Amino acid sequence: MEKAIEALSRKGPSGTEVADWIRSQIRASRFVPGQRLVEVDIIRKTGGSRFKVREALQRLAAEGLVEIEEYRGASVKGASMSEIRQLYRSRAALEGLCAADFTRIATQAQRDRLRVITQDMERCIDEGSTEMFGKLNAEFHTMLMQVPGNDVIQDLVKRLNTPVHHLLFESFYRGDRMREAVADHWRIVEAIDAGDCAAAEREMRRHIENGHRVLEALDQAMHHDG
């Protein structure tokens, strides 16, 4: 029995955990578009088995974040601005629906939490804490989607999000963009507090579209500088 427990304690990460690690590396721009994902390196860094690493890569390929080619193996998939435009349009529609649903059934405690998150995001601007701002932003959006009956939508949005993680996180969260995002969030919060489902959906769609506009401007600036 003790040997069995010891063996379980030595059990490496699951395929899901390895996938989460790779995804976090892409988001942090440690893995960039076109970069090969070498199985041996991932095994060494995560402690995952070869089977679990391959399972993780297949999972990420299904999400559209990784590309697997015969004889060449896996690499980080890039996304063109045309693809990103389609992803953002889809997100705007889906997250807009979620905002309307949240407005209709959210508890007072959930509404209060949204206000606190938005206030904390404002504080992050003053403190220059981009990493915490990003985490709070993710919590805000996730909370609006965690409405009973919206599990499929939440999973779809998660998949739509991952292909754009390679875009420069730090560049996206700069002072002006952070202030614009918080202003958008306040408009969403106010619509929700007023119980106006149509306004909440409209403001969420506008917020997502604003994010896409910033990404397009960043992309144009990067190509111009290059």
Whether 134 and 55 share a structural domain: no
| 8 Å CB contact between 184 and 139 | no
**SS3 call for 90:** helix
Among 25, 55, 76, the domain boundary falls at 76
Shared domain for 55 and 103, answered yes or no, is: no
Count of domains in the chain?
2
What's the CATH number where 195 sits? Answer: 1.20.120.530
Tens of pLDDT, residue by residue over 80-93, are: 778 888 888 999 99
- Contacts of 93 by beta carbon, 8 Å cutoff, 6+ apart: 205
Q: How far apart are CA 98 and CA 142, in angstroms?
A: 10
Mean pLDDT of 39-54: 93
Mean pLDDT (the chain, rounded): 84
Question: Is 149 found in the same domain as 219?
Answer: yes
Q: Are residues 35 and 88 in the same domain?
A: no
Mean predicted confidence (pLDDT) in 92-103: 95
Domain boundary among 19, 47, 76: 76
**Among residues 50, 76, 102, which one ends one of the domains?**
76
Q: How far, in Å, are 78, 131, 172, 195, 210 from residue 178 at the CA level?
A: 25, 12, 8, 26, 12
Q: Which residue has the higher pLDDT, 59 or 1?
A: 59
Residues 94 and 13 occupy one common structural domain: no
Instruction: Enter the tokens of residue 61.
Output: 């390929």
Q: In terms of domains, do 21 and 132 share one?
A: no
Tell me which residue range forms the domain holding 16.
Answer: 2-76
